[in-house]
Amino acid sequence: KAVKGIYPPGSTFKMITALAGLKSGLMDPKERVPCSGYYPFGSRVFHCWKRGGHGPQDLHGGIKNSCDCYFYEVARRTGPDVIADVARAFGFGQTFDIGISDVSKGLVPDSAWKLKRRKAPWNPGESLSYGIGQGFLIVTPLQLAVMSARIANDGRAVYPRLYRERGHVASAEPKPPVSMGVDAASLKLVQEGMWAVCNEPGGTAIVSGQINIPGVQIAGKTGTAQVRNISAGERAGGVISNDNLPWAMRDHALSVCYAPYDNQRYACSVVVDHGGGGSKVAGPIARDI
C-alpha cells in the first residue's frame, strides 16, 4: 500500500497549495483571509473543518491551523495549473525506481487533463477542493514521504530508495539531490508553518501529542481526507462522527512530518485507511516512528 495505495491527501497537501500561491505572485504571505467557518462561492458554500471558523488567517496561521477557508482563497486565485506544476516538482504524479513493479502514479489534475479526460473545461469551484487535497487529486503514501523530504531538504529533489534490512542492499543507485529552483523564502515560510503545527500553541498536531519527544522538534502536517459527500441537511443537524459511520465511509487519517527540525534527517508519512482524524490517529503513529 505504500507504493500502490491511492488516497486523497487532504490537508497534508496544503503546503503545495501554499507554495503554488506564492509562486503565482497572487498571494502575499502576510495577507489575512477571513474564516467564519464557511466560504461562499457561486451558488455553493464550502465549509471549513472548524465550524465556528478560525478568524483572519495569514499563510503561517493557515498552515498551523489547517484553515480550509484560507486555502480555498489561495487555490481560487492560483488555479489548477500552477498547483499541478508545484505538486509534480515535489514528487506527485510520478513513480520512483525502488525495485517494485506495479507502482501507482496517482493523479495530479490540471485544466488540460480535465478537458481531455472529462471533455469539459475546468470549473473554478474545482480549484477550491484541489487546494485542500480533495477532488480529482490522488496520491500514494510514498509520494507524501517524498514531498516531506523535499520540503525538509530546502527544495532539493531527493529520491527514495528501498534498503534490505540485512546487508544494506539498495534498490537503485543514489541520485544527487538536485535543486528544484523553488524560492528559498517561500520554502522557509512553509517550513515554519509546519514547525508551528507541531510546536506552537493551537497547532493541529499538538492535540495528538506528536511533539512529546525530549530534545527533538518535529515539523509536520496532519490531514483528514473525506471519502463521502456531506449534505447540507447533515451539516445543519450536525455532521455524523466517524465512530458512528460504517468503516468504509469514515475519513482517512494522514500525517506527514520530518525531524529533527533544525537538523533534518528523517521524513515520514502515515496513512490510516478510514482511520478518522489525522491529528488523533495518524499523528501519534508518526510520533512513535
> Known catalytic residues?
11
263 secondary structure, DSSP code = S
Nearest to 172 by CA among 90, 270, 95, 86: 95
DSSP string for residues in 221-245: EEEEE--S---HHHHHH-PPPGGGS
Report the alpha-carbon distance of residue 126 to residue 139 in Å, rounded. 17
Q: 146: which 3 cell numbers?
A: 517524498
Q: 51: which 3 cell numbers?
A: 465550524
Report the alpha-carbon distance of residue 277 to residue 270 in Å, rounded. 12
Report the alpha-carbon distance of residue 11 to residue 49 in Å, rounded. 10
48 secondary structure, DSSP code = P
Report the alpha-carbon distance of residue 227 to residue 96 in Å, rounded. 27
219 secondary structure, DSSP code = E
* Packing angle of the helix pair 68-78, 80-89 (nearest 10 deg): 100
DSSP string for residues in 104-137: ---B---HHHHHHHHSSPPPHHHHHHHHTT-TT-
Q: Are 266 and 239 in contact (CB under 8 A)?
A: no
* Nearby residues of 139 by Cβ (< 8 Å), 6 or more positions away: 6, 7, 8, 9, 13, 92, 106
